[in-house]
A and B are shown apart, each in its own frame.
Chain A
């Protein structure tokens, strides 16, 4: 990690690299994040309605559960796992291929700090883009829940919105954002490490990508538990 901050290049070099990474990491992940989020919200609504149906429980509890589950767990954690699968494997594959085709050596021979040049923009871009993806995901998941609830007559639109507002704990939002920063750092750093230290050939690049995803997922789940224990 220290080597990322040593022998850095000019600011404008990092600026343009970070913008490119933001597009690759953030914008290019929008589609999959949107699809997963909408269905995540929709399924949560239907399943909550199925499990909580009864005369003593008001319908607005459905959207209350969707809201809290989305903010506390589903959007930060499930999207982090999707993020690890899409972005993590991409980072590890890209760096691994650069390593085995001597592109990283070429940077080093030119006097460029390859770890700083290649890894730092990816970490910064992940830290910038993943929280935005989580915010978008939470919005879409709650929207998806609304659509599923209303279209299947499980809950009325009015009740759904009432449930969203009912006893809302504002701390859930900073909690979700803290989780998203931690998860973004975990995915970017683990994947970069796996890719950067690849040695061998195409087979090892594949292994690095797989390791990047599995190690990131395990680290995300451990961090998820620790953050919940510490912050809630």
Chain B
């Protein structure tokens, strides 16, 4: 479980996050949603340690990440898998090397076992016979899948996904959502997904935190979100014509 307590973050004079707290349980997909510029990605970066919150703490199963010494920071980071918005695959490495990278760097696993694990993870994300391809030869959806395979290859306990559906067609986006949900349940990870995609909210939102102008305005799940009376959340959820008609 990941718990955040009273997170605030500002850049120079501009405060981006205001006293955000919440609990992200293990084995379910936790979503952080909100319009662009509301601080979702900043919150995610605070969670994974790429940014340091000004105030507040991030607890990974009770271990305070924001005040951790270097040893504990490295220990926690090695339990984290992250899918970046642009996949962040290493351009100079092929698919197999990209997925194998955390094992090469962080473990002493024999090469044969590493390759078995890589192939298993690629199979889990539905990719076959792409081991030798370079990232530039892959489609957007395939890159995301490789990114997910790399994120889970080291038996990560915590899986973070930053806008996993951005730049994907609706069908591929649904497949990626299903994959994240399936992996979370199968591997029992604490999964946090930052998104503003309403399909994801409806499909996989087992826990949803809604951010508005840097503040947590609402939390609940995909069933409750369609019945809320909060104006800002309604504007976000029913922003397109289709959702308005459904309402």
List chain A positions with a Cβ less than 8 A from chain B.
6-7, 9, 13, 97-98, 101-103, 105-106, 108-112
Contacts and interface: CB of A to CB of B under 8 A. Distances in A.
A112 B91 CA distance: 17
B50 interface: yes
A110 B105 contact: yes
A109 B49 contact: yes
Contact of B82 (A13, A97, A106, A112): A106
B74 to A, nearest CB: 5
B104 interface: yes
Contact of B90 (A13, A103, A105): A103
Interface of B: 48-50, 70, 73-75, 77-78, 80, 82, 84-86, 88-91, 101-102, 104-106, 154, 160
Given A103-B90, A103-B91, A110 B84 contact: no
A97 B89 CA distance: 12
Contacts of A13: 104-105
Nearest to B79: A111
A109 B82 contact: yes
A111 B103 CA distance: 12
Ranked 8 nearest A-B pairs via Cβ: A111-B77, A102-B88, A106-B88, A111-B78, A102-B84, A111-B74, A109-B82, A103-B88
Contacts of A9: 105
Contacts of B75: 111
Nearest to A100: B86
Given A7-B70, A110-B102, A105 B88 contact: yes
Contact of B50 (A6, A7, A98, A105): A105
A24 to B, nearest CB: 10
B77 A102 contact: no
A211 B247 CA distance: 55
Nearest to A104: B88
Contacts of B73: 111
A19 to B, nearest CB: 14
Contacts of B78: 110-111
Contacts of B89: 103
A66 to B, nearest CB: 41
Contacts of A103: 88-91
A13 to B, nearest CB: 7
Contacts of B84: 102, 105-106
A109 B48 contact: yes
A45 to B, nearest CB: 42
A109 B77 contact: yes
Contacts of A98: 91
Contacts of B88: 101-103, 105-106
Contacts of A106: 82, 84, 88, 90
A105 B88 CA distance: 8
A101 B105 contact: no
Given A103-B88, A103-B91, A112 B105 contact: yes
Given A105-B84, A111-B73, 7 more contacts: A101-B88, A102-B85, A102-B88, A106-B88, A109-B80, A109-B82, A110-B102
Contacts of B48: 109
Contacts of A101: 86, 88, 91
A9 B20 CA distance: 35
22 contacts: A101-B86, A101-B88, A102-B88, A103-B89, A103-B91, A105-B84, A105-B88, A106-B82, A106-B84, A106-B88, A109-B50, A109-B80, A109-B82, A109-B160, A110-B78, A110-B80, A110-B101, A110-B106, A111-B74, A111-B77, A111-B80, A111-B106
B164 to A, nearest CB: 14
Contacts of B86: 101-102
A114 to B, nearest CB: 11
B138 to A, nearest CB: 14
